[in-house]
């Protein structure tokens, strides 16, 4: 049985990630995260000194805990445009704050250099146990990731971005190659990926044939639901799958691993793009971002790619192109697994004839360009079919490769 962490910080991290994914609700999500933090850790107060988007105000204060109004005023009086100066003042004055217990002061400075802030925690007792310190560190790293995403937003998600144009998203949903290429290029840039690709979801398979950054010509594959990375996302509703080393991953599937290995893919992330917004919404596509080195995607990179995917939602529902169509015959359904299995693995003409016969609800005999059947046992049946061609009421048509070309 899986052991529960003594400090259930999962909800705190969830709210923080949502603050990165939903910028219009960021303030609310950060406050909720601080409230959850106090509920799971022996602390009496916590504050965030957060960059302000307003030019005339350098910092915003989020505080949850004892003496809320008094502590907000106390913190506001010690803020300086310089983060280092603010830290210096707080370090001095916190030691003389007699109305509050022991405090932890943690600078928030992402390794990318994007953004900075400050997190303070007043604990009910000191020192904190190791498990609580691990909890603090995990939350601190997530806060830094949110800061990095916030400071990258103007670069990737400005109002001038074509992804704010629903006409572009409509074109992308219809499979427009230019729109897909532009989106995959932006994903590659935001996630610092080597290779990005797009999988269209059908009723039984995910079909990948659009990509950016491939070294091999003709990259693409189809994988059934429930298998591989994309198939499991569709089947189990996973919001994101992270693969740190594909060569040693449980997500490897023998039907596609050779194709993926041919591109030297080692690490990657995959996430759904849905037809509507909500946890149970139908998945329309899978977005993949990968690297040719075993370098896992950082949390800020994963959040940025998730933001990009969310911009497409709800992806318009589109009519699927048929992969096999002849005049007078019905279009194929949205089920493609049987067709791919036939194309990839069938080595007997009888299998092809049986499959197409089910599709047209009739009899089919495949012939060569000279009109001879590939399956000799079909010779007599072919003669009967040809004899019926002269009678249009029989609805019989003999097709050879030359007529299908």
Structural domain for 388, as ranges: 346-404
Query: In this predicted model, which residue has the larger pLDDT, 250 or 218?
Result: 250
Give the least confident one: 152-156, 256-260, 347-351, 391-395. 391-395
Residues 201 and 265 occupy one common structural domain: yes
Q: What are the tens digits of pLDDT across the range 220-238?
A: 998 999 999 999 999 998 9
Q: What is the pLDDT, as a whole number, of residue 202?
A: 87
Does residue 328 lie within any of the structural domains?
no
Q: What is the mean pLDDT of the chain?
A: 85
Q: What is the pLDDT, as a whole number, of residue 347?
A: 58
Would you place residue 373 in the very low, low, confident or very high pLDDT band (cuts 50, 70, 90)? confident
Contact 144, 138 (CB under 8 A): no
Q: What is the pLDDT, as a whole number, of residue 334?
A: 55
Q: What is the pLDDT, as a whole number, of residue 342?
A: 62
The domain boundary residue, chosen from 156, 178, 206: 156
Does residue 251 lie within any of the structural domains?
yes
Q: What are the tens digits of pLDDT across the range 152-192?
A: 988 888 877 777 788 888 888 888 889 999 999 999 999 99
**Does pLDDT of 398 surpass 90?**
no
Structural domains of the chain, count: 3
Give the least confident one: 239-253, 274-288, 360-374. 360-374
Would you place residue 121 in the very low, low, confident or very high pLDDT band (cuts 50, 70, 90)? very high
The domain boundary residue, chosen from 113, 131, 156: 156
User: What CATH number is given to the structural domain containing 147?
Assistant: 3.30.450
As a whole number, mean pLDDT of residues 361-375 equals 76
Residues 59 and 83 occupy one common structural domain: yes
Residues 124 and 260 occupy one common structural domain: no
Does residue 319 lie within any of the structural domains?
no
């Amino acid at each position: 049985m899986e052991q529960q962490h003594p400090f259930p910080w999962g909800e705190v991290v969830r709210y923080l990630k949502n603050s990165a994914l939903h910028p219009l609700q960021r303030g609310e999500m950060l406050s909720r995260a601080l409230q959850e933090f106090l509920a799971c850790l022996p602390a009496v107060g916590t504050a965030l000194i957060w960059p302000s988007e307003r030019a005339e105000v350098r910092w915003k204060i989020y505080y949850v805990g004892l003496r809320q109004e008094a502590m907000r005023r106390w913190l506001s009086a010690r803020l300086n445009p310089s983060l280092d100066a603010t830290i210096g003042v707080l370090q001095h004055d916190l030691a003389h704050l007699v109305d509050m217990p022991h405090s932890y002061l943690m600078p928030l400075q992402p390794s990318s250099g994007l953004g900075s802030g400050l997190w303070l925690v007043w604990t009910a007792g000191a020192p904190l146990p190791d498990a609580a310190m691990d909890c603090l560190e995990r939350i601190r790293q997530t806060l830094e990731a949110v800061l990095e995403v916030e400071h990258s937003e103007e670069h990737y998600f400005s109002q001038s971005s074509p992804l704010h144009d629903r006409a572009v998203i409509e074109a992308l949903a219809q499979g427009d190659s230019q729109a897909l290429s532009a989106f995959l290029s932006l994903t590659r840039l935001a996630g610092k990926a080597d290779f990005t690709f797009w999988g269209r979801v059908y009723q039984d398979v995910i079909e990948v044939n659009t990509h950016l950054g491939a070294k091999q010509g003709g990259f693409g594959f189809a994988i059934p639901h429930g298998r591989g990375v994309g198939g499991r996302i569709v089947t189990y509703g996973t919001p994101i799958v992270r693969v740190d080393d594909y060569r040693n991953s449980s997500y490897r599937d023998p039907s596609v691993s050779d194709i993926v290995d041919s591109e030297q893919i080692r690490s990657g992330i995959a996430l759904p793009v849905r037809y509507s917004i909500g946890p149970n919404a139908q998945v329309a596509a899978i977005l993949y971002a990968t690297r040719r080195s075993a370098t896992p995607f950082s949390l800020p990179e994963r959040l940025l790619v998730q933001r990009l995917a969310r911009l497409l939602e709800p992806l318009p529902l589109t009519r699927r192109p048929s992969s096999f169509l002849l005049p007078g015959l019905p279009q194929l359904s949205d089920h493609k697994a049987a067709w791919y299995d036939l194309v990839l693995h069938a080595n007997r003409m009888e299998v092809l004839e049986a499959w197409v016969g089910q599709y047209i609800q009739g009899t089919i005999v495949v012939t060569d360009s000279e009109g001879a059947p590939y399956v000799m046992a079909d010779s007599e049946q072919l003669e009967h079919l040809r004899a019926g061609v002269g009678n249009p009421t029989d609805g019989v048509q003999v097709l050879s490769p030359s007529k299908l070309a």
